[in-house]
Amino acid sequence: MACKADLVVSDQFPTGLRVLVVDDDITCLRILEQMLRRCMYRVTTCSQATVAMNLLRERKGCFDVVLSDVHMPDMDGFKLLELVGLEMDLPVIMMSADGRTSAVMRGIRHGACDYLIKPIREEELKNIWQHVVRKKWNENKEQEHSGSLDDNDQHKRGSDDVEYDFSATEGAEELLITQKRRRDAKEENEELENDDSGTAKKPRVVWSVELHQQFVSAVNQLGIDKAVPKRILELMNVPGLTRENVASHLQKFRLYLRRLSGVAQQQGGFPNSYCGPVEQNAKAGTLGRFDIQALAASGQIPPQTLAALQAELLGQPTGSRALTGMDQPLLQASLLGTKSIPVDHGVTYGQPLMRCPSNISKQFPQTVLTVEDVHSGLGVWPSNDLGVVGASSNLGGLGAQSGNILMGMLPQHQHPCQQQQQQLKQSIVPEPSRSINVQPSCLVVASQSSASFQSGKSPASVNQNSFSKGCVIDYRHLSPQSNNSSVVAGLLSDGDVRRTSVLNGCGGPGSISPSVSSCSINADSSAGRHFSGVSPNISGVQGSYCSTSGQLLDQVPLRNLGFVGKGISIPSRFAVDEPGSPTSNLNCGKIYGERNGNKVKQEPRMDFVENVKVDIPILQNFSANDLTSVFSE
């Protein structure tokens, strides 16, 4: 494929957008390729992430946007996202069959430009160009602000970029306005993502291990709260490095930290959605299988999880991490937001921070934007000596508002620093009304809607306000139980049925109302200890996904198939119609019945064999072996 961008712009912008699609699912890959071709994009497909990375590295500047699946065997999609963000700084759009809010949230946190849920429609693909343009506009705007560059730099990115700028004026104006708003929201990080005026060619400074190490020590010295680019730059004392470089790197760093905490938080909750090598938190493991973030948020991230997490992010073997005994003091320090965080210690992330996922698009623009606009390009963080600051870093990064929430939502820890935690939290708890804004910005799907797999699928695009339906999770009816399994089981008694009905509200800590806060779902026994008001609930809320209709789907077949837990207490409010119904095959029977019924009306040509077992005379390609092998016990 030609590396030069021969864009035919004119009326047909964004024709010729160069897209790289990465997905191990060949079916989807082929379909996407066809769809993208129809959008007049130039498509390259790849079924392996490692191959894709090589392709991107070899042909830098030859792609405009990357579409990647989340679950891939050789590399986690989010890892690819990081690497691409770090090395090539291209917009990356994630795709997944998993449309659960939690999964989408992960995508957002990792800095994906967008998150598409399969099956992907052509219309969604038509829109991906906006991410490219937005990014470029952002960067250009930053350049203007920093005043160090001119139009030449735009050309450096490839000739077609200029064309994007010129020909996209109409759409771009809107983008500009959006960006302006966003920019106001995150002033501190305004001057980012721009070029180093020192290096003529490549706009990005390469953050080597040593450089990053210097950066981190500077940050730790200053304290993550007080770490401003200017001071960091001074401390680092690296010739040729500009404040802008540091600023953009700082933003990425913060993003990285935030994501670490988020990821760590979810370790226990995603048995199958997170394919990284991180082992599940032993504690969370008891609840572990269940996709409830609350469980993961139960508290402690053991050193090995952190280590594994860090290792996974850095692409290094977990064995090389040495974290034992380090995280406690670091956590403690981080909780208190002290400056004296030793640099030489490994990653310390005991604080799974609560997010406000459902509120993100509305209430906390800062949060979203920092996530969105800056890729968590983390590919090459240095190894052992990374002193990662914990919770407080995020507080520093976000506005006070969200910071309060985060602090207020910190789940309990089995730490000596609990006390301080409590104090901190208690001091903040009284302000839930300010910080935790229970607003309609929840992802909700009415539980009574039909289970059409496609119809209600809410595109998890962060650009759309899919978080628009208002609802409050009412966890009142879920009794706080110290017994993990029963709570969880209760939650999942009807498999996802529970999930869907429970989660008929906002799926995130941000959506907590004071009333809800009174009850504690936190399955972890340590739940009761801390928060007088807010947090236990948060853990519970966190664990909920707003049900998309994709989840409702779970409801339907489950009911049909009768996969219901046995003897689990189901709070009446969320009771499913037929818990533990013996009529497991009912619907299947119905289906078959339908078929038979229809059979009568249809022409003889429709030859349904009831148990499609073997003989399908009209089918040629279908060997009997296929069928019998499938059915053979």
By CB under 8 A, name the binding residues for other proteins. 24-28, 30-31, 34-35, 37-38, 69, 71, 96-98, 118-122, 271-273, 275, 289-291, 451-454, 492, 495-496, 550, 553-554, 556-558, 560-561, 563, 565, 584, 588, 591, 594-595, 598, 602-603, 605-606, 609, 611-613, 616, 618-622, 626-627, 630-631
In the complex with other proteins, which residue's Cβ is closer, 38 or 476? Answer: 38
Integer Cα distance of 519 and 539 in angstroms: 11
In the complex with other proteins, which residue's Cβ is closer, 95 or 235? Answer: 95
In the complex with other proteins, which residue's Cβ is closer, 69 or 195? Answer: 69
Inter-axis angle of helices 159-167 and 129-146, nearest 10: 100
- Shortest approach of other proteins to residue 321 CB, angstroms? 22
- C-beta separation of 368 from 104 below 8 A: no
- Shortest approach of other proteins to residue 270 CB, angstroms? 9
- Shortest approach of other proteins to residue 273 CB, angstroms? 7
- Shortest approach of other proteins to residue 472 CB, angstroms? 25
In the complex with other proteins, which residue's Cβ is closer, 477 or 590? Answer: 590
The helix/strand/coil state of 443 is coil
- Shortest approach of other proteins to residue 303 CB, angstroms? 22
In the complex with other proteins, which residue's Cβ is closer, 248 or 293? Answer: 293
CA-closest candidate to residue 21, choices 86, 110, 116, 162 = 116
Round the CA-based radius of gyration of the chain to a whole number and report it. 25
- Shortest approach of other proteins to residue 507 CB, angstroms? 17
Q: 553: Cβ–Cβ under 8 A, 6 or more apart, which residues?
A: 451, 453
In the complex with other proteins, which residue's Cβ is closer, 238 or 588? Answer: 588
Residue 373: phi and psi, rounded to 5, are: -75, -20
- Shortest approach of other proteins to residue 34 CB, angstroms? 5
Integer Cα distance of 406 and 435 in angstroms: 9
- Shortest approach of other proteins to residue 458 CB, angstroms? 14
Q: Token digits for 363?
A: 């209430």
| DSSP-derived secondary structure for 225-286 | TT--HHHHHHHH--TT--HHHHHHHHHHHHHHHHHHHHHHHHGGG-TTT--SSPPPPHHHHH
In the complex with other proteins, which residue's Cβ is closer, 97 or 176? Answer: 97
CA 608 vs CA 16, 151, 595, 612: distances in Å: 47, 66, 8, 7
In the complex with other proteins, which residue's Cβ is closer, 114 or 142? Answer: 114
In the complex with other proteins, which residue's Cβ is closer, 12 or 452? Answer: 452
**Cα angle 226-231-235, degrees, rounded to a multiple of 5:** 115
- Shortest approach of other proteins to residue 545 CB, angstroms? 12
Integer Cα distance of 292 and 299 in angstroms: 14
In the complex with other proteins, which residue's Cβ is closer, 59 or 289? Answer: 289
The DSSP 8-state label assigned to residue 458 in this structure reads P
- C-beta separation of 101 from 443 below 8 A: yes
- Shortest approach of other proteins to residue 616 CB, angstroms? 5
- Shortest approach of other proteins to residue 46 CB, angstroms? 16
- Shortest approach of other proteins to residue 443 CB, angstroms? 18
Integer Cα distance of 170 and 31 in angstroms: 30
CA-closest candidate to residue 422, choices 528, 504, 493, 502 = 528
- Shortest approach of other proteins to residue 619 CB, angstroms? 4
The helix/strand/coil state of 625 is helix
- Shortest approach of other proteins to residue 519 CB, angstroms? 24
Integer Cα distance of 295 and 92 in angstroms: 30
Integer Cα distance of 67 and 77 in angstroms: 10
In the complex with other proteins, which residue's Cβ is closer, 147 or 589? Answer: 589
CB atoms within 10 A of CB 6: 9
Integer Cα distance of 233 and 404 in angstroms: 28
- C-beta separation of 41 from 19 below 8 A: yes
For residue 480, whether the previous peptide bond is cis, meaning omega lies within 30 degrees of 0, is no
In the complex with other proteins, which residue's Cβ is closer, 166 or 622? Answer: 622
In the complex with other proteins, which residue's Cβ is closer, 528 or 597? Answer: 597
In the complex with other proteins, which residue's Cβ is closer, 340 or 598? Answer: 598
Characterize the bridge pairing of strands 65-69 and 42-46: unpaired
Integer Cα distance of 397 and 412 in angstroms: 22
Helix/strand/coil percentages in the chain, nearest 5? 50, 5, 45
CA-closest candidate to residue 453, choices 601, 538, 333, 556 = 556
